[in-house]
Amino acid sequence: MTTKYKIVLVRHGESEWNKLNLFCGWHDAPLSQTGIAEAHDAGKLLKEKGYTFDVAYTSVLKRAVKTLNIIQEELDLDWIPVHRHYRLNERMYGGLTGLNKAETAKLHGEDKVKIWRRSYAIPPPDVDLDSSEYPGNDRRYKMVDKSLIPRAECLKDTVERVLPYWFDAIVPSILSGQRVIVSAHGNSLRGLVKYLDKIPDDEIVGLNIPTGLPLVYELDEDLKPVKHYYLASEEEVAARVAKVVAQGKSK
């Protein structure tokens, strides 16, 4: 296969809730100081490697939006079009939102928490409809059909939410020859990677996407992956992945 297109995927930098080891999901947590630095480093790395972009896609959650903003600043690309959409949001963690991951692992066991965090088709408990964490109570989703607003999601649900936006919005930009960057979240990007690489349901559990490291996909003319790689050393990728894995362990 011959490379015809490239797309860059970036998981947002560390958020304040990542730092506190809390289930975040659709909660709009800001970037931590580490996350801000990670976003600047991502932008500098992309600039150093000669990357530029014509259009950007992100979620409606500030940790992804601001990661993208910082990358744009580093690349002097504040002017390019940015499309924000809830379909690129993180997985909705339902009733787990706001709970400490390590404490939840102590209470329910690491295996159960791993299922809630990583399994393909088993969602966590639903969030209450009267909760401030239920997206239907958030004005940014006012125009979204209530039937499309989740109370909890497994990764399968997240894939089914993300892929229509991939096909309807992002794919046309790629095929038109535009250079595309997507700033999103661990699970919305895991869902996209699962689709691109045809990862089986039982293997996706072990895939972790680190914060703030650009992930490049080279695609052929049919948008099939030719290869993919992080713009970082193997040691740096491993260290960031280990940090993600540790979040689901009891202390």
Q: Annotated catalytic sites, by residue? A: 12, 90
- The encoded tokens of residue 72 equal 């744009």
- The encoded tokens of residue 245 equal 């894995």
3-state secondary structure of 204: helix
Contact 51, 75 (CB under 8 A): yes
Q: How many angstroms separate the CA atoms of 146 and 150, rounded?
A: 8
Contact 180, 53 (CB under 8 A): yes
Q: How many angstroms separate the CA atoms of 249 and 44, rounded?
A: 32
Reading phi first (left if > 0) and then psi (alpha if -120 to 50, else beta), residue 242 is in: alpha
Contact 84, 58 (CB under 8 A): yes
Q: How many angstroms separate the CA atoms of 232 and 241, rounded?
A: 12
DSSP state of 221: T
